[in-house]
Amino acid sequence: MLENVGLEFPRKEGPLSIALRWLSGLIGKKRSGPITVGLSDINISINKGEIVGVIGRNGSGKSTLLKAMAGIYKPDIGWVGIDGDISLLSGVGVGMNANLTGRENIHLYGSILGHNKATMDKLIGGIIEFSELDGFIDEPFRTYSSGMKARLGISVATAVKPDILLIDEVLGVGDPGFKKRSQKRIRSLMDDSNTVVIVSHSFGLLKEICDRMIMMEKGEVKILGTPEEVIQMYHDIEG
């Protein structure tokens, strides 16, 4: 899936230094601006049907890796290829609007996640049922409590089963009852999706569900192996 992928983030630069760099470019000396390495030399290939967990400290490049897979970031070098439709769950409820009703937001968020009208029309009954927002679904979204908003988001996000599912720590919102049900639903979603890549800090969950795991450090794949190996390594390094 990923081949020699490298990604660099440009750092903030003052106008003077930009001008200087351009000038030196004019006289033939090519200099690149200050950068932060996002990902460097990533080679991963994930098979159909695999569940792969990604761990690592904050800022180690886990989310960047997922975003490169989802096509949000274009790598500076290397190549990303996928087979099938891909869906990234991160920051549930992206693009939902306060003034629209719950129902309208379901359609909006569903289409943002890449589903077409026919799919959404088919799923909307189940989504409303799962979110338990029956009485409020035609009220404006701004009148919802934050728990209700999250519930609606999760319900939409987990309703469709894509070929490749990328999950970026979205588990665990709402009251305990809903939390349990939504975790169950994400688990069944992962079972039904062909391929899953999940970023999470809950090692227990990862150990249980993953076929392989990746540990990221400073934008590189530190180790790729069985869950036991990787978690062991993580504890060795982090102490």
- Applying CB under 8 A, which residues contact another protein? 1, 3, 7, 9-10, 38, 43, 45, 47, 67, 69-75, 79-83, 86, 88, 90-91, 94-95, 97, 99-100, 104, 107-108, 111-114, 116-117, 120, 140, 212, 217-218, 220-226, 229, 233
* Cα–Cα nearest to 4, from 221, 232, 189: 221
Residue 117 or 180 with smaller CB distance to another protein = 117
Residue 134 or 228 with smaller CB distance to another protein = 228
**Secondary structure element (H or E) that encloses residue 37, with its range:** strand 35-44
Q: Give the C-alpha separation, 83 to 135, whole Å.
A: 40
Q: How far is the CB of 175 from another protein (least distance, A)?
A: 25
Q: How far is the CB of 177 from another protein (least distance, A)?
A: 27
Q: How far is the CB of 21 from another protein (least distance, A)?
A: 13
Residue 132 or 220 with smaller CB distance to another protein = 220
Q: Give the C-alpha separation, 95 to 154, whole Å.
A: 13
What DSSP character marks residue 142? G
Looking from the CA of 235 toward its CB, the CA atoms found within 13 Å total 6
Q: Give the C-alpha separation, 20 to 137, whole Å.
A: 56
Give one word for 148, left, alpha or beta, with left for phi > 0 and alpha for psi -120 to 50. Answer: alpha
Residue 153 or 174 with smaller CB distance to another protein = 153
Q: How far is the CB of 211 from another protein (least distance, A)?
A: 10
